A and B are shown apart, each in its own frame.
Chain A
Amino acid sequence: MDLAIVYSILDSSVRLTAPILLACLGGLYSERSGVFDIGIEGKMLFSAFAAGAVAWHSGSAWLGLGAAVLVGIAFSLLHGYASITQRGNQIISGVAINFLAAGLTALLGKAWYGQGGKTPQLANEARFTSLTLPGADAVKDVPFLGPLYSGIVSGHSILVYVAFFAVPFTWWVLFRTRFGLRLRAVGENPAAVDTAGISVVWLRYAGVTICGVFAGLAGAYLAIAQSANFAPNMSAGTGFIALAALIFAKWNPVGALGATFLFGFLQALAIPLQGAQIPGLGWQVPVQAITASPYILTVILLAGFIGKAIPPKAGGVAYVKER
């Protein structure tokens, strides 16, 4: 294979990894605090809609981003209210948010903009366009490393850099701050945290709120960075891939980077392999096999055939204070 093709696959891997990574890190905060969240997909969709609509009305990508984050937080708080305060079933609440997002965004989009649910096309000023990192043009002709820097590292929207920067940041928060220690503790043994006089409810709300911020960033990336408008169901399972990646990463931020890049790479690989033949055999590569591979890999991992993924111990269980 041509080196240029390798570079272009890696470049699109980076682009496709960003939303999965953002969603995955969001899920990490929530699940580490003991609240399962299969509603990330829905929150991304809501946020993408908010970003597309607000960026179009205001003409500002930043306002769009702000709206996306606020909407992400709002639905996280709904999930938090159902699962922390009401002690409802966290999975059912997540399922409800996913359907609500799929239905409501399409309904409002069609009613307001009349373009089959899409928000109007954004001008480049209202989007996060690609940034050229300093020196990218200068080193372009340096063999090997030049295109690596100018083609793959440089030339993405700011949200991509935010996503990758969020990995060390999350690691630092979780493993080097007091808040992170408590957040991890509340996902493992809330009774111990409660005994120490720290509010379980407050910590879990903090976890789901941060999750909402990340889902907002991921949604905004889909609508106003990767594309130039919102389209119905544009998240197309990204939130679920992120959940799979979270399991693959064993609820660890550095692992999340690896897992999401693997899944982003597989998605990027599916594009040039469309209709390609396996050399020597003359078989066509079924694209569906590559599309399904993240899910198959996750099932195999979950089954414990390649290492064991152990979720936070108190995940999915509401905390009832002892009287």
Chain B
Amino acid sequence: MAIPYAKLPSWAELGVMPAVNVIAGFVVAGIVVAFIGENPAKAMLILIDGALGSLNNIFYTLFYATSFVFTGLAVAVAFHAGLFNIGGEGQAYVGGLGVALVCLALDHYLPWWIVAPLAIVASALFGAAWAFIPGWLQAKRGSHIVITTIMFNFIASSMMVYLLVYWLKPLSAMGPSSRLFEAGGQIPQFSGMLKAMGVAAGSAPANLTLFLALAAAWGVWKLVWRTKFGYEMRTFGFSPTAATYAGISSVRITVLAMLISGGLAGMMAVNNMMGNVHKLDIDFVFGAGFVGIAVALMGRSHPVGVVLSALLFGVLYQGGAELSFSMPSISRDMILVIQALVILFAGALENLFRPLMYFIVPAPTPVKEAA
């Protein structure tokens, strides 16, 4: 993957370029807002206030951010191995099945702090299993991982609807969802904990899973930059031929990277199912698997970047919901538009503003011959 561009100093490469690309996305989003006939600056203020204006709002923002850290890390890990895992949505969905099975079986008997670790393991295993097949098919049979993971998203959705409608739905329920988890299947929310201490903090769903997400981010950093496997993975992602020549097994890297990626995506289910809705239903993933793509691209696949951009998308999701109340003409679809623009500018058009940078940054290193 030789890029025929001169490398910028690292502060520009890692700090300024992503910021410029994200700002470009937001400028275009602002133009869309103006086009609809609303004031973009006012919309921005409402959005920020909606996301960070009160403790309750902040907890909502953190709740969304928690989910996005998992799915963002999932995409990032696969990126390091040169794989584009678009299947986070399906892997999170199937991960939810693992959570549901553990919670439905044990929530009557055991306290949440025993059920939760088991559910986390189950979610990771189920998510990893769903990512294993595309990974194995890519490694062994050469089928393109992008296409297979897209197909697996659709297959996951059909399978989960089938399971919900025919197996997991209680007879009394109207919609396709499992029964509600008892106390043993509920992870404590920050708002509830503060309430117990006498602080009014609303009823936002941010919960202890946040710390699991941060631990996962640390774990990914450790894995990618401080282990032999991480080194092999990055080598393989940078140049598969060089990796093969160095004796690194492409099958092992591809399959393991996809297992880790799928496991991370699957854990997203814990946050929303045990921390918020307390059941398995059709739309608990709410597109978080796809947001992960934008989060990973914007965070340049580094855990710190992923956590920061997950936070930004948390702000967008929560603030966007508030915005659609205050400005009814700006519906929540605006979030999807911004998400798309971030993917476009930070991903596909990442080199668009690069020539501009050469004016600002003195004396770039000379262009290396593209191999």
Contacts and interface: CB of A to CB of B under 8 A. Distances in A.
B351 A86 contact: yes
A292 B4 CA distance: 42
B143 A303 contact: yes
A302 B148 CA distance: 8
A248 to B, nearest CB: 11
6 contacts: A87-B351, A97-B340, A99-B339, A247-B147, A288-B158, A295-B152
Given A86-B352, A292-B158, A106 B347 contact: no
Interface in A162-206: none
B349 A82 contact: yes
Contacts of B159: 288, 292
A304 B339 contact: no
B347 A289 contact: no
Contacts of A286: 162, 166
Contacts of A91: 84, 86, 146
A83 B290 CA distance: 21
B180 interface: no
B143 A299 contact: yes
Given A82-B349, A89-B347, A91-B146, A244 B151 contact: yes
Contact of B334 (A82, A103, A237): A103
Nearest 5 CB-CB pairings of A with B: A103-B336, A93-B348, A99-B340, A302-B143, A100-B340
Contact of B348 (A92, A107, A110, A292): A92
A111 interface: yes
A65 B59 CA distance: 47
B258 to A, nearest CB: 15
Nearest to A309: B143
Name A's interface SS. helix
A252 B186 CA distance: 53
A320 interface: yes
B32 interface: yes
A154 B303 CA distance: 59
B347 A299 contact: no
B154 A103 contact: no
Contacts of A298: 147, 151
B350 interface: yes
B352 to A, nearest CB: 6
Interface of B: 4, 32, 36-37, 84, 86, 133, 137, 141-144, 146-148, 150-152, 154-155, 158-159, 161-162, 165-166, 290, 293, 297, 329-331, 333-341, 343-344, 347-352, 370
B27 to A, nearest CB: 15
Contacts of A158: none
B343 A107 contact: no
A103 B4 contact: no
Given A88-B351, A111-B329, A292-B159, A103 B339 contact: yes
A110 B141 CA distance: 45
Contacts of A299: 133, 137, 143, 148, 151-152, 155
B297 A92 contact: yes
B86 A304 contact: no
A271 interface: no
Given A110-B331, A111-B329, A299-B148, A100 B351 contact: no
Contacts of A247: 147
A35 interface: no
A311 B146 CA distance: 13
B4 A302 contact: no
A182 B352 CA distance: 29
A133 interface: no
Contacts of B146: 38, 91
B158 A86 contact: no
Contact of B293 (A95, A232, A243, A289): A95
A35 B122 CA distance: 39
A152 interface: no
A291 B335 CA distance: 29
A237 B146 CA distance: 15
Given A107-B331, A110-B329, A304-B141, A92 B161 contact: no
A108 B333 CA distance: 9
A320 B329 CA distance: 44
A153 interface: no
A276 interface: no
Contacts of A90: 348
Contact of A88 (B148, B155, B338, B347): B347
A292 B338 CA distance: 30
Contacts of A103: 333-340
A244 B155 CA distance: 13
Interface string A224-239: 0000000010000100
